[in-house]
Amino acid sequence: MITEERLRQRARTLPSLPATVVALGEAVADERCTVDRILRILATDPPLSATMLRMANSVLYGGDQPVTELRPAVMRLGFETILNLGRTAGVIRSYREARHLDAVRLWQHSVAVGLVAKGTCRILRRPHQGEEAFMAGLLHDIGKIALDLCFPEEYGPVVEAIQAGQHTVDAEAALLGTTHAEVGHMLARQWELPEVLGEAILRHHAPGPGQFLNNLIHLCDLLVRTRIPGGPADERLVVVLEEMPAFREVFGSAEGPDLERLTFEIDDELDHAVAFVTLAYQG
């Protein structure tokens, strides 16, 4: 079994968020932040700058005209999006390899959850929560890679149990005595991320009532797993939206969304996620 003390000791060996990403977080939190300050930070990390430029010209963020310089790219994306894209590229770049997991598939799933969560905020007219929802979706499964890297011998049997048909959290709890949600929450604290993100990571399999972000990530995770299954258990997964407590928590008692349109939007976001991860891996 993996004790909390063993986990904390091993977690110290994991990559931290890149210094550039930390600097971006500090800059965006400053009300006086300017485009020039963002450009100075990006200038210290050419691969991240190149990724930002590709993102600004991608189908996710592209405008009517392509941009070839970083300044208009930053202005097109905006500071909050720059920060979250920087975190995304930085996390994927730091955790692009795994021992037993398919890292590319995991990141495609995670980015898709983030994009669907952000899109749902737009549907609900909560655009101010969109970037926060994206980050929570991106990081909700970070504990899986952390466990795979820190405890490869112990996590190998977990992956085998998942491929044999067990649900991920059941296999982790039985074989390790902890779950990727708990490990991800600890890692979020180690990175000094906002507690609201840490809670969304911790609760994404079992959100409580009245927890909008936690229920949103739970809902989006299930929806994406029906399309990007993480194992045989997910291939049998059937989601009936109207019957899900998380669906009611997210959309409330008001008239629900056009479910057919929502389904099409989810499928579109899956395509975007594949493109997003491809660009991030090129950085």
Tokens for 40, please give them.
């100075």
pTM: 0.86
pLDDT tens sequence for the chain (283 residues): 788 788 888 888 888 777 888 888 889 888 899 999 999 999 998 888 888 888 888 766 766 688 899 999 999 889 888 887 888 888 888 888 889 999 999 999 999 999 899 888 988 888 888 888 998 999 999 999 999 999 999 999 999 999 999 999 999 999 999 999 999 999 888 888 889 999 999 999 999 999 999 999 999 999 999 888 888 888 888 888 888 899 989 988 656 666 777 788 788 888 888 877 887 777 6
pLDDT at residue 58, rounded to an integer: 77
| Per-residue burial over 59-76, b = 16 or more CB atoms within 10 Å of its CB, e = otherwise | ebbeeeeebeebebbbeb
What tens digit of pLDDT does each residue of 166-190 get?
999 999 999 999 999 999 999 888 8
Q: What is the pLDDT of residue 203?
A: 97
Instruction: Tell which CATH classification among 2.70.98.40, 3.40.50.720, 1.10.3210.10, 3.40.50.300 matches the domain 4-282.
Output: 1.10.3210.10
DSSP-derived secondary structure letter, 207: P
Q: How far are the Cα atoms of 3, 70, 190, 198, 254 from residue 249, in angstroms, in the given order?
A: 34, 40, 30, 19, 11
